[in-house]
Amino acid sequence: MKNVVSFIFFLLVGHSLFAQHAIMPASTHAAIEVIQRDLSHNRSKPSQQVVDFYPIYKTADHYDIAVLCKINSSFNKTQAVKDGFDIGAVIGSIASMRMPLHFLQEGFAYPGIDYIEVAEKIAPELDGAIKDIRADLVHKGVDLPQPYTGKNVIIGIVDWGFDYTHPMFYDTTLDHTRIMAAWDQVKVIGTPPAGFSHGAVYTDADQLAAAQHDTLSPLTDYHATHVAGIAGGSGAGTKYRGVGFESDFLFSQMRNDVSSSLDAYQWMYNISQSTGKRLVVNNSWGNYRLFPLDGTSLMSQAIDAFSALGVVFVFSGGNNGNINFHLKKSFVNDSVRTRIGGFDYTNDHDLWGQSIAMWGEAGNSFSAQLRILNDQNQLIGQSDLINTSTASAYIDTFMVIGPDTIFYHVTTDAAHPLNGRPQMTLDIQSKNAALKKILYAEASTGTVHFWNTRLTTYGIGNWGYGFTAPTTGYVNGDKNYGIGHPGVTNSVITAAAHETNFLLTSFSSYGPRIDEVIKPDISAPGLNIISSFNSFSKENVTPVTSITFNGKTYEFIKLSGTSMSAPMVTGSVALILEANPTLSAAEIKQIIINSAFTDGLTGAIGPEGNNRWGHGKLDVYKAIQLITGSTAIGNISESKKYLFPNPAHDEVYVTSELDGNETYRLNRLDGALISSGHFDGALSVAQIPDGIYILSIENSNSFHAFKLVINK
């Protein structure tokens, strides 16, 4: 018996004898402690509460946990599969995996894995719009080489709540589905895609018709159908046609974690490569807890790597623009106090509590404390003062005040392994609304950002709650730095939302990132957008209209959010890719930025953009004209502008009358900005390397773009 036990022990940990301990953030140390404590309670399997909170999934005979890893050349995928690992997407050195739960322990070591983190849980960001972005002119081909509708471009939708039977996803004659394939990653019965070992994939019309819809999710069972209809719905005989209405579709329902989204990207990329079609992926979801909001997360790195391969990503910017859920404090041997707002538990059945995310500056530690006040604003309880440089990675404790118990968990990194910043996450559960939860923080120097978000029993948090001042000596929060993860990623196009032909919506999240990089990138219509509704949804809705198709009623509903503005951008990218399928992801992003328009509602926006609108309102017509070589963008019928000499070697001139308010941008074809500023009719190019560039000139009334060749 002793030999058998020894043999089993070697199977579990033998690999670690030949591997270095993997680096992991505090959030993963916390997950290990919670899971191990849960299993120690005489359980052979994790409790349902833990399964719901972490990305843990039941397989045929055991439980897996979803992780993201950094691997090196010694990682042996074949051996890992033999050890029970389910290897998903691998992009560069980043891999998504589901591994047997028993592998995740303190001191985790596996050959070839340098870094590991438990995958972040995620949730969705909850008619005239086509004209607002001028896609109607693109569809008609007005003053363009041809009409553009998204043909031969793939729109990927990574979401929850797909109706595979909805006529919005058929062609305009309603004869053939445009869904190339759909992958339900939640299904436990079915055939997974090649190279993957989970879920069920449907690859033809008969399989899609038989499956009907994806697995209904507790997060949402209709979000994806609405989003996909905006990006590329055919209209199904109604006027509610999407932007890229002749594009092809790939649908992937995720599990509720980011490793699942990476698998979806890899699957979609594989299909785009095998079919020779370009791919744009819509992501109307995000989060604020646990992971860096400066573009350095493992997820952001993986997305950047896919972007470098030509995949274009669009993300919603978030819907916390009307909530003071953020606080920024630059410390000089002082402190800050604020009240932590929250929702009523009686009206929010999935609510666990509040989650306070805190990120400082590299090299500058800070301390935080939870305090409790009564209705007279008197201090009646407090936690220890916890410092990022000295605290353990995870603290799980509580305080008792009379009949009430306040539970709180703290995860802390002295220097997060991905960006070197100190971070702390404070999760609080206090069900007595009369007790005022107070965040106290202090530091000798450095700037710290704080966010207050809802935390559900599913481990998800992307709804903001306010920071308020209950009395003098306290501070209110603000709305800034509100773009969620992974919308903060460098390479993605991040969408704000405005009302059609009007102002920015109140809910559209503010930028910038915590490193002051401008986000969002562009704004598109996102208020009261009408699109398709999942006919298999259990939700009761009031439809705007409905149609009958194949003997069944299909409805259209009105929704608002950056979840709706993002697919406006996604569909526009499909039009751009049809017009020029050779453009890189970086070039497309820059073209969308360069062709954005401003008006009296946006106010003046400089070349660097701003934290509300990004670079302005989406104008896909202007973008298409730019890439198809039109010499006048925005005011084409009256253009008298000509560029000479072209090719140029010293100076380049524009012939026309100028009003003195022109500005210019000179970009490389990869989108990189070379120079910008006031334009007086001539531009020196003597110091600019030979090559092909795009010169854009605009004032308040017109926009003009030229292809400029510099050849000295």
Q: What is this structure's pTM? A: 0.83
Average pLDDT for the chain: 89
Span of 311-315, 479-483, 524-528, 702-706 with lowest mean pLDDT: 702-706
Distance of CA 56 to the CA centre of its chain: 22
Residues 530-550 as b/e (b if ≥16 CB within 10 A, e otherwise) read bbbbbbbbeeeeeebeebebe
Q: Over pLDDT 90: what percentage of the chain?
A: 66
| Residue partners of 688: CB distance under 8 A and separation at least 6 | 666, 674, 675, 710
Tokens of 351: 């609510």
Q: Say what the pLDDT of residue 16 is.
A: 43
What tens digit of pLDDT does each residue of 557-568 get?
999 999 999 999
Nearest 10 degrees: CA dihedral of 313, 214, 63, 91?
A: -20
What mean pLDDT do residues 504-509 have?
93
The residue with greater pLDDT, 670 or 390, is 390
Q: Say what the pLDDT of residue 623 is.
A: 93
Return the amino acid letter for 412.
Answer: T
Where in the chain are the domains?
Answer: 2-119, 124-320+486-594, 326-468, 636-710
In the DSSP assignment, the letter for residue 113 is E
Most confident listed range (140-144, 373-377, 680-684): 373-377
Q: Kindly tell me if the per-residue pLDDT of 233 is higher than 90.
A: yes
Question: E strands within 29-112?
Answer: 56-58, 63-71, 86-91, 94-100
Q: Kindly tell me if the per-residue pLDDT of 3 is higher than 70.
A: no
Q: Kindly tell me if the per-residue pLDDT of 203 is higher than 60.
A: yes
Asked: is 636-710 a CATH 2.60.40 domain? The reply is yes
Q: Kindly tell me if the per-residue pLDDT of 127 is higher than 80.
A: no
Q: Kindly tell me if the per-residue pLDDT of 237 is higher than 80.
A: yes
Q: Say what the pLDDT of residue 19 is.
A: 63
Q: Say what the pLDDT of residue 132 is.
A: 85
The residue with greater pLDDT, 462 or 701, is 462
Helix or strand (DSSP H, E) at 461: none
- Please, is 105 exposed, middle or buried when counting C-beta atoms within 10 Å of its C-beta (0-12, 13-18, 19+)? middle
Q: Kindly tell me if the per-residue pLDDT of 478 is higher than 70.
A: yes
Q: Kindly tell me if the per-residue pLDDT of 13 is higher than 50.
A: no
What tens digit of pLDDT does each residue of 414-454 get?
999 999 999 999 999 999 989 999 999 999 999 999 999 98
**pLDDT band at 308; cut points 50, 70, 90:** very high
Q: Say what the pLDDT of residue 173 is.
A: 94
Tokens of 355: 């989650």
Q: Kindly tell me if the per-residue pLDDT of 126 is higher than 70.
A: no
Q: Kindly tell me if the per-residue pLDDT of 395 is higher than 70.
A: yes
The matching CATH number, chosen from 2.60.120.1290, 3.40.50.150, 2.40.30.20, 2.40.50.100, for 326-468 is 2.60.120.1290
**Cα→Cα distances 594→141, 145, 294, 625, 632, Å:** 21, 21, 23, 12, 14
Active site residues: 159, 223, 563
Q: Say what the pLDDT of residue 433 is.
A: 87
What mean pLDDT do residues 35-56 have?
86
What tens digit of pLDDT does each residue of 530-571 get?
999 999 998 888 899 999 999 999 999 999 999 999 999 999
Q: 326-468: same fold as 124-320+486-594? A: no
**Cα→Cα distances 591→178, 669, 671, Å:** 27, 9, 7
The residue with greater pLDDT, 413 or 670, is 413
Tokens of 469: 């001042």
Q: Kindly tell me if the per-residue pLDDT of 123 is higher than 80.
A: no
Q: Say what the pLDDT of residue 14 is.
A: 45
User: 124-320+486-594 adopts what CATH topology?
Assistant: Rossmann fold (3.40.50)
What mean pLDDT do residues 680-688 have?
89
What are the helix (H) ranges across 531-688?
562-579, 585-594, 620-627
